[in-house]
């Protein structure tokens, strides 16, 4: 017997938090009876569980790494008709959704899954799984500027956590620099706002790593399945980050 919200999340219905909302809204039935009490337990092997009248099945869990191109929406749909990430997932019949987001103008490593619990684990604010970006910025920041990012910098929504920052490439002739930055948070447009705060706006932004998972030489617009060891490594990264964050 497992808690109902956990069963739903593991079946890929949604994140555990969203599944709790579905239960409270009276949209979940167990053996034909509507359940609205959180913590209710069921057995997915013997009970018939439905969401909005649709049976949940033991759907195969999928874990995908996608190299998102610039100009693609990290969403399941877009009313403006722009490209969305699932447009590139040819051959994937299961409903998968992004783990976190990359904004429209940001490219690089994006995870997608139908495992709600896995997605929640990697995106929960307490877990702080590190994410590494290559930021091409206007001008060449001085070492003192990078030190500000390393120590944490004040944004409109508060002080950022310390970041790992170093020069990746410098082109004084073009008055540009490529900076490698690893952050442990997931605020909206955080990396862009951090560089704007030190006076070096981002021209191009690419995520190259999520935890110990690296994009490598994968071409833009291409996806692949994660290996079991890669999935487990991400779980361990989240668990380790949460442990290190505890007092």
pLDDT band at 209 (very low <50, low <70, confident <90, very high): very high
Taking only the tens place, the pLDDT of each residue in 1-49 is 889 998 888 777 888 889 999 999 999 999 999 999 998 999 877 788 9
Q: For residue 238, what pLDDT is reported?
A: 85
Q: For residue 57, what pLDDT is reported?
A: 67
First to last CA, the chain: 33
Higher pLDDT, 78 or 153: 153
Taking only the tens place, the pLDDT of each residue in 44-73 is 777 889 999 888 865 678 999 999 999 999
Higher pLDDT, 95 or 41: 41
Tokens standing for 146?
A: 């990078």
**What is the average pLDDT value for the chain, to the nearest integer?**
90
Q: For residue 242, what pLDDT is reported?
A: 65
User: What residues act catalytically?
Assistant: 103
Integer Cα distance of 174 and 232 in angstroms: 42
Residue 165 near residue 181 (C-beta atoms within 8 A): yes
List of domains in the chain: 2-55 (3.10.290.10), 64-124+215-239 (3.30.70.580), 131-210 (3.30.70.1560)
Integer Cα distance of 180 and 215 in angstroms: 14
219: buried, middle or exposed (CB in 10 Å: 19+, 13-18, 0-12)? Answer: exposed
Integer Cα distance of 129 and 152 in angstroms: 17
Taking only the tens place, the pLDDT of each residue in 112-141 is 998 888 888 898 877 788 999 999 999 999
Integer Cα distance of 113 and 99 in angstroms: 7
């Amino acid at each position: 017997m497992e808690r109902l919200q956990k069963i739903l999340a593991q079946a890929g219905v949604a994140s555990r938090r969203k599944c709790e909302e579905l239960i409270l809204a009276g949209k979940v039935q167990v053996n034909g009876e509507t359940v609205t009490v959180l913590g209710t337990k069921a057995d997915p092997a013997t009970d018939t569980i439905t969401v909005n009248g649709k049976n949940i099945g033991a759907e195969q869990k999928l874990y995908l790494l996608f190299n998102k191109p610039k100009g693609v929406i990290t969403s399941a749909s877009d009313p403006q008709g722009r490209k969305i990430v699932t447009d590139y997932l040819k051959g994937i019949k299961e409903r998968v959704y992004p783990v976190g987001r990359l904004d429209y103008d940001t490219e690089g490593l994006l995870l997608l899954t139908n495992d709600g619990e896995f997605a929640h684990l990697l995106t929960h604010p307490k877990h702080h799984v590190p994410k590494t970006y290559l930021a091409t910025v206007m001008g060449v920041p001085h070492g003192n500027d990078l030190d500000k990012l390393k120590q944490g910098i004040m944004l409109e929504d508060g002080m950022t956590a310390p970041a790992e920052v170093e020069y990746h490439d410098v082109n004084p002739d073009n008055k540009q620099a490529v900076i490698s930055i690893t952050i442990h948070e997931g605020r909206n447009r955080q990396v862009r706002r951090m560089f704007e705060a030190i006076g070096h706006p981002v021209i191009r932004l690419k995520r190259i790593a999520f935890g110990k998972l690296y994009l490598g030489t994968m071409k833009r617009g291409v996806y692949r399945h994660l290996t079991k060891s890669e999935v487990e490594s991400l779980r361990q990264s989240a668990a380790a980050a949460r442990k290190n964050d505890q007092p």
